[in-house]
Amino acid sequence: MNAALVLGVLASAIASGTSLLYATLGEIVGERAGIVNLGLEGIMLIGAASGFAATAMTGNPFLGVTAAALAGAAANLIFAYLVVGRQANQLATGLTLMFFGLGLSALIGRPFVGTLIAGLPKLRILGLGSMGDPLTAYDGLVYLVVPTAILIWWLLFRTTWGLGLRAVGESPVAAVAAGLRPGRLQYQALAIAGLLGGIAGAHLSLALTLTWEEGMTAGRGFIAIALVIFAKWNPLWAIAGALLFGAAESLQLQLQAAGADVSPFIMNMIPYLLTLLVLIVWGWSRQAAAPAALGRNFVGVE
Amino acid sequence: MLRDDALVWRLLSTRAAAFAYVAFLALSAFALLLVIAGKDPWQAYVDTLVYVFGNAYGFSELLVRMTPLLFTALAVALPARIGLINVGGEGQLYMGAWLATAGELALQEHSAFVLLPALTVLGFVGGGLWALLPAILRALRLVNETISTLLLNYVAPLIVSYFIFGPWRSPESSSYPQSPAFVDAARLPTLFYSRVHVGLIFALLCLALYAVIVSRTRFGLEMRAIGGNPPAAQRLGIPVSRYILTVMFIAGGAAGLAGMAEVAAIQGRLVSELSPGYGFIGFLVSWLAGTSATGIVAMSFLFAVLSSVGDMLQITQGLPYAVINILLAGILFIVLGRRPVASVAR
């Protein structure tokens, strides 16, 4: 492996890990409040499609990101209403949200199949290197993702709001006894998760592919859910996880570009198999970091 | 006896009425969305009804579409009985089709009496083994089966693509890679001069067997015990891990049969776009049916009708087929919101 390849892998790992990290951060916020959202894949698709549509219509990618975030939050509030307001089964509702997102994004994206956009502008904040050097020319969302992770960490672990949110995820009954309102906090958590999931989708369509394609997230939502376990529900660990999976994805692209004699189909399996492997290793080490009330519905106290 | 029948009918009719109401709500909401998108939902609905119920061919196509759903819904319902969530039907379908195709390529000189049973067994085993991996990981308490079955859905179609773009690529297929056509002896017999095939009857028999097993046998009782309270079942001496492995293997096998039937009856060869999400729709079907066998038959039929709306939208109004997922998901959203704390899976 030569230096150029390593540099290329690293550069595109950061680019493709960004989307994963936004999605993972959103899921962490929701799961810290005790709610598993398997619909993240659908949220990302809705974000990717609506962000692309808004950008193609207005020519302004920043409006696109905003639209994606709002659409993601709106869709996630449907989920929140069902699991928090109606105590529906979280796993089944989440999977249904995935189908919903698959369908809705196909409808939104249909008029824009084949449309090309300029996408998010590349900023050279670090001021290093020449034009087009991949390490120094990223879009704004890439620069913002690590600060976002730190912000989410700060919100969860250094604010009263975050303490309350985590209390709800560990024990809703204790949270009520402490004078908190679990339902309201869970709605807030899921709204934030939707915003971040929408942005994650928008980064795919507005910065990486620059086109809309049906089902373009290709399971990244599920990989992000696995990354939450990998990161032990900690936003800062999620940075490392997203970088690792971004590297797996970009290694496959770089090897193909370098003309390696491996079937592209075999290479495309790497991210999914790596995810499974990570889950197995994590399961083996028996990490008990999950919020205690994760996945259970809180039906109120007597 | 007479009274029981009356009771059953009353129950059925109230359930049917409740479901008709749900379907009406979902269809209205979906129509509204299509109007906003500048399409004509009313035309699509009418077109669908005319196509599906207007002539024998349309109706037979409904049965063709229903067949894989019966299998993939069974693949979800059986594990749900012991509290497992199998969302891997799509991948299991592909692997069943894959192993059945491998069998066809190896045994094609033999007669139909050898080929058809062999392909059926191979389709079952292919799907079953693909489900066994998540089952082992679950039994060892390493990885939750929901996430592992979901991830494997993305791997199985890649394996199929690898083979039809590589070792199994038919010399005649240039632009659209596929495996060589199955020999006639390996094709499932069809019925009524249509594309309806014996897979439909086989699926109904499997569901009948499922209904008997869960309600009338020791296995069914023990499965209910595990589904209700796994630690208690373990303490009673029920081999929970063995149940997890067996049930997931059989469930994956059922989904594999759907894949086998698709290659051996409908496509006649292995192709990359084998399923428009039958594995996923089977999940929705099973959830709506509450894992009951009759419910699965009724819901599979209904979802076959509804997904025909998707075909109509694709053909007449230029929308992607995937748009129909909005309608299918909408129905489940309403049901999930109306029926708090579902008891099937936790």
Are B326 and A104 an interchain contact pair (Cβ–Cβ within 8 Å)? yes
| B93 pLDDT more than 50 | yes
* A107, closest residue in chain B (CA to CA): B323
Q: What are the boundaries of each domain within chain A?
A: 9-114+138-284
Distance (Å) from the alpha carbon of B142 to chain A's nearest alpha carbon: 4
Q: Which of B37, B155, B287 sits opposite A107 (nearest CB)?
A: B37
Q: Report residue B153's pLDDT band, with 50, 70 and 90 as the boundaries.
A: very high
Average pLDDT over residues B73-86: 91
Average pLDDT over residues A272-284: 86
Distance (Å) from the alpha carbon of A3 to chain B's nearest alpha carbon: 31
Give the per-residue pLDDT at B205.
93
Query: Among residues of chain B, what percentage have pLDDT more than 90?
Result: 27
Residue partners of B309: CB distance under 8 A and separation at least 6: B44, B45, B48, B324, B327
As a whole number of angstroms, the distance between CA B322 and CA B342 comes to 27
Are A88 and B340 an interchain contact pair (Cβ–Cβ within 8 Å)? yes
| B162 pLDDT more than 80 | yes
**Chain A residues close to B283, C-beta within 8 Å:** 95
Are B284 and A96 an interchain contact pair (Cβ–Cβ within 8 Å)? yes
Q: Report residue B343's pLDDT band, with 50, 70 and 90 as the boundaries.
A: very low
Are A299 and B341 an interchain contact pair (Cβ–Cβ within 8 Å)? yes
Q: Report residue A31's pLDDT band, with 50, 70 and 90 as the boundaries.
A: very high
| B55 pLDDT more than 80 | yes
**Chain A residues close to B336, C-beta within 8 Å:** 82, 86, 88-89, 92-93, 96
Distance (Å) from the alpha carbon of A142 to chain B's nearest alpha carbon: 26
| A190 pLDDT more than 90 | yes
Q: B238 in the Ramachandran plot: left (φ > 0), alpha (ψ -120 to 50) or beta? A: beta
Look at A295 and A272; give whichever has higher pLDDT.
Answer: A272
Count Cβ atoms below 10 Å from residue B4 Cβ, excluding itself: 8
Look at B112 and B137; give whichever has higher pLDDT.
Answer: B137
Give the per-residue pLDDT at B53.
84
Q: Is A43 on the interface with B (CB under 8 A)?
A: no
pTM of the model: 0.88
- Interface probe for B, chosen from A46, A276, A278 (most Cβ of B below 10 Å), is A276
- Interface probe for A, chosen from B33, B136, B151 (most Cβ of A below 10 Å), is B151
Look at B231 and A49; give whichever has higher pLDDT.
Answer: A49
As a whole number of angstroms, the distance between CA A103 and CA A256 comes to 31
- pLDDT for B191-241, tens place per residue? 877 788 888 989 999 999 999 998 888 888 888 888 888 888 888 888 888
Give the per-residue pLDDT at B29.
86
**Chain A residues close to B38, C-beta within 8 Å:** none
Average pLDDT over residues A281-292: 73
Give the per-residue pLDDT at B341.
43
Tell me, which fold does domain A9-114+138-284 have in CATH?
ABC transporter involved in vitamin B12 uptake, BtuC (1.10.3470)
Are B154 and A299 an interchain contact pair (Cβ–Cβ within 8 Å)? no
Are B326 and A269 an interchain contact pair (Cβ–Cβ within 8 Å)? no
- pLDDT for A125-183, tens place per residue? 655 444 445 555 778 788 888 889 999 999 999 999 999 999 998 888 888 888 888 88
Instruction: Return the amino acid letter for B332.
Output: L
- pLDDT for B247-258, tens place per residue? 999 999 999 999
Residue partners of B315: CB distance under 8 A and separation at least 6: none
Hey, which residues does A122 pair with through a beta bridge? A139
Give the per-residue pLDDT at A130.
43
Tokens of A193: 């998760």
The DSSP letter of residue A178 is T
Contacts made by residues B4-7, CB under 8 angstroms, sequence distance 24+: none
Are A103 and B327 an interchain contact pair (Cβ–Cβ within 8 Å)? yes
Are A81 and B337 an interchain contact pair (Cβ–Cβ within 8 Å)? yes
Q: Report residue B12's pLDDT band, with 50, 70 and 90 as the boundaries.
A: low
Query: Among residues of chain A, what percentage have pLDDT more than 70?
Result: 91
Q: Which of B154, B325, B336 sits opposite A272 (nearest CB)?
A: B154
As a whole number of angstroms, the distance between CA B39 and CA B42 comes to 9
Distance (Å) from the alpha carbon of B192 to chain A's nearest alpha carbon: 34
Give the per-residue pLDDT at B25.
87
Q: Indicate the Cα dihedral angle B78, B84, B89, B95, nearest 10°.
A: -100
Give the per-residue pLDDT at B123.
93
ipTM for the assembly: 0.87
